[in-house]
Amino acid sequence: MPQLLILVAAGAGLVLAGRWYRDMQRRIASELRAAEEALQRRENESVVPLEQDPATGVYRPRVSQGRQSARH
C-alpha cells in the first residue's frame, strides 16, 4: 500500500510539473512574440527612404515636400 501512495504522489508531481512547464513555455513564447512585434514596429517607424543623387551617386535621405532634412 505505501508503494501505491508513493506512485500516486509521484504521478501527481509529474502532472503538476508538466503543467508548470507548459505554462512557462506559453508565457515565454508570448513575451517573445510581443518583443518581436515591438521591434518590428520600431524598425518600420525608423526607416528613412533614400534616394540617389544623380550627380554624385551618393544615397541621401529623401526630402519630403515642405520638410527639410535635419542633416546637411
Query: Would 41 be classed as within a structural domain?
Result: yes
pLDDT at 35: 97
Structural domain of 20: 2-61
Classify 56 as helix, strand or coil: coil
Within-domain flag for 29 = yes
Q: What are phi and psi of 49, to 5 degrees?
A: -65, 140
Report the C-alpha gap between 34 and 31 in whole angstroms.
5
Read off the pLDDT of residues 8-31 as tens digits, 9 standing for 90 and up. Answer: 999 999 999 999 999 999 999 999
Residue 70 lies in a domain: no
Q: Which three cell numbers stand for residue 22?
A: 507548459
Name residue 39's amino acid: L
Q: Which helix (H) or strand (E) holds 36?
A: helix 2-45
Number of domains in the chain: 1
Task: Confirm whether pTM is higher than 0.85.
Answer: no
